[in-house]
Structure 1
Amino acid sequence: MVSLRREIRRAHPEHHAAPVHVFGPADAALLVIGLAPGLYGANATGRPFTGDDAGGLLYATLHAHGFCNAPRSEGPGDGLVLQDCRITNAVKCLPPDNRPVAAEINTCNRFLADEVKQASVLVTLGGVAHKATVRALGLRQADHRFGHGATYDLPSGHRLIASYHCSRYNRNTRRLTPAMLDEVFARARAAVDAVRDLSSTASGAS
């Protein structure tokens, strides 16, 4: 993967072409987990789901539910701020042929394990990201299977919500529609609000 990044820097010197880190405030209640940076998306801009088609629907949906201050993400310096939300990927670097292999997912899983600890509500985008998240939480895959809209209340206190990935392919084939993604983030919004209400109540009682 290091050699791939070097090749990309030579071909596209303006690209970020490095590990893409989590985007959003460290104390956010919601963590959105995608798959990996795309060549002309996060690998180019350095921000998850930014620069290619996949992020268009995602950021518009996040904005509709109050998780960011604008409906579009163009890249660092655009003034976009996530609100009580962070975004990351199961794989931190651009994978060869845009297809992560098990070794890459496994290597990056320790970073994901640290990221999920900080959040209360987790939204996984796609089956690979979902399985990586279940592994990062130390849970059995058989007990937390992927399916669009599948929701799990975990012993750790997390709420885990699965969605099909917002890729162009899934949208063109109608596997995922804007309404379907909107419903997932409506659930996430309700779960985050419940967490914040509980926290406020506890603070007031003390």
Structure 2
Amino acid sequence: MSDDERDAMPPRPDDADFPARRGPHCDGLEELDAAVATCRACPRLVAWREEVAAVKRSAFSEWDYWGRPVPGFGPGDAVLAIVGLAPAAHGGNRTGRMFTGDASGDVLYAALHAVGLASRAASTHIGDGLELRGVRITAPVHCAPPANRPTPAERDTCRAWLARELRLLRPTLRAAIALGAFGWQSLLPVLADAGWQVPRPRPAFAHGAEVRLPATDGGRELYLLGCYHPSRRNTFTGKVTASMIEEVLRRGAAIAGL
């Protein structure tokens, strides 16, 4: 089969270039989220997420694990984006919602509720009534990775989903918060492709970092903020506290007009 013949065929979820071929053609977030959930482009991640979903953790033995890529969560007209790392094996990979069902999510959603950006202080499962107010939560990698460490190749394969998500949010998005260095470093090249000018050299991640990104497409500028990831390790050691996260969220909300 020639390259032209292959390109003319609809992309298959297990193709290595499925995100790159399918993502740019999603016309809205609903279509994008549905496409993300079918992706099987990274064999290592597929094998891991499905093994975890089959073996389960004893505390969740009665759960029917999601076991697929986890789409973004939040309204399609969000003015503030929160970008993490990847779903947790027994969190998002179990529940099917970003930052839901694990310790990191417990901290993040409590902080979002404390500053008025979430309707509830806890996110336990899809259909629990939780709503986000002007906020969209997503990640550079949509599958749970072994040891919470996606490879650079897996991050790059998944990038097309995040790029399309930001393009679809472009008309309303005013600020983005990167949770951790991985999210920050993954987000910068995508923002450059989505219509914002990223400084050279690229700004370094730090908690509380704030960078103004002028628009390159005639749209509005974007502010990028850094926040330590609310991982169990970071919160247990005190590297990040609830008040520190709330402070960054309040700043992002203020910039975005929430």
The TM-score normalised by the length of structure 2 is 0.72
Whether 1:130 and 2:194 are equivalent positions in the alignment is no
1:86-142 per-position Cα deviation (integer Å, ceiling 9, x unaligned)? 101110001123211111111111111122231221000000000011011123573
Unmatched 5+ stretches in structure 2: 1-44, 57-62, 193-197, 216-220
Whether 1:116 and 2:116 are equivalent positions in the alignment is no
SS in 1 for 2:201: helix
Counterpart Cα distance in 1 of 2:121 and 2:232: 18
Counterpart Cα distance in 2 of 1:108 and 1:15: 22
User: For residues 78 and 126 of structure 1, do their structure 2 counterparts lie closer, same or farther at Cα, with a shift above 3 Å needed?
Assistant: same
1:159-202 per-position Cα deviation (integer Å, ceiling 9, x unaligned)? 10000100110011111111211110110111121xx7xxxxxx
For residue 48 of structure 2, what is the aligned residue in structure 1?
4
Unmatched 5+ stretches in structure 1: 197-206
User: For residues 6 and 57 of structure 1, do their structure 2 counterparts lie closer, same or farther at Cα, with a shift above 3 Å needed?
Assistant: closer
For residue 73 of structure 2, what is the aligned residue in structure 1?
23
Counterpart Cα distance in 1 of 2:153 and 2:130: 33
Contact 1:131 1:141 in 2 (8 A): no
For residue 237 of structure 2, what is the aligned residue in structure 1?
173
Identity over aligned residues, as a percent?
A: 40
For residue 37 of structure 1, what is the aligned residue in structure 2?
87
- Bigger-Rg structure (1/2): 2
Whether 1:182 and 2:241 are equivalent positions in the alignment is no
Contact 2:49 2:145 in 1 (8 A): no
1:132-154 per-position Cα deviation (integer Å, ceiling 9, x unaligned)? 11011123573321011000110
User: How many angstroms does 1:4 deviate by?
Assistant: 2.2
User: How many angstroms does 1:60 deviate by?
Assistant: 1.1
For residue 224 of structure 2, what is the aligned residue in structure 1?
160
Contact 1:135 1:141 in 2 (8 A): no
In terms of mean alpha carbon deviation, does 8-17 or 18-27 score higher? Answer: 8-17
Contact 1:22 1:89 in 2 (8 A): yes
SS in 2 for 1:82: coil
Contact 1:24 1:82 in 2 (8 A): yes
For residue 61 of structure 1, what is the aligned residue in structure 2?
111
Report the aligned-residue RMSD.
Answer: 1.5
Counterpart Cα distance in 1 of 2:46 and 2:200: 31
The TM-score normalised by the length of structure 1 is 0.89
